[in-house]
């Protein structure tokens, strides 16, 4: 449970930094396209749109309204992260070298 909270905090911090980057923008079209993709995925899990609406308690428009801001934030963060790591090119030898140099300070497992 603690890692879930830490993950949410990490996501919020990255979002704050991404929103400060005035050169990043997400268009209405990008948001709508992602919304359609996600709605199509949800609908594919049910026999019909009506079955989905009955099970979820939301109409498609309500679902889109509910998640539009979240999707916008997700897209901003994706663009921010892409920009940060655009030039990153890590090769296998560098990974092994890093491990050899810092293995004493690395955790034994990911928690």
pLDDT category, 108, cuts 50, 70, 90?
confident
In the block, which residue shows the tokens 């890093």? 98
pLDDT category, 105, cuts 50, 70, 90?
confident
**More confident position, 41 or 4:** 41
pTM summary value: 0.70
Which CA distances in Å does 7 have to 15, 23, 29, 31, 76? 12, 26, 28, 23, 17
Task: Tell me the H-state helices in the chain.
Answer: 2-20, 28-44, 49-56, 60-85, 92-102
**More confident position, 36 or 23:** 36
Query: Is the confidence at residue 7, as pLDDT, over 90?
Result: no
- Would you say 38 and 47 are in contact if contact means Cβ atoms under 8 Å apart? no
């Amino acid at each position: 449970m603690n890692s879930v909270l830490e993950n949410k905090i990490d996501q919020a911090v990255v979002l704050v930094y991404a929103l400060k980057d005035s050169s990043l923008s997400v268009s209405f079209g990008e948001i709508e396209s992602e919304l359609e993709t996600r709605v199509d995925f949800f609908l594919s899990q049910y026999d019909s749109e009506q079955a989905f609406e009955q099970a979820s308690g939301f109409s498609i428009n309500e679902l889109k309204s509910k998640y539009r801001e979240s999707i916008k934030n997700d897209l901003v963060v994706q663009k921010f992260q892409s920009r940060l790591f655009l030039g990153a090119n890590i090769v296998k030898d560098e990974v092994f070298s890093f491990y050899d140099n810092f293995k004493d300070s690395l955790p034994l497992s990911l928690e």
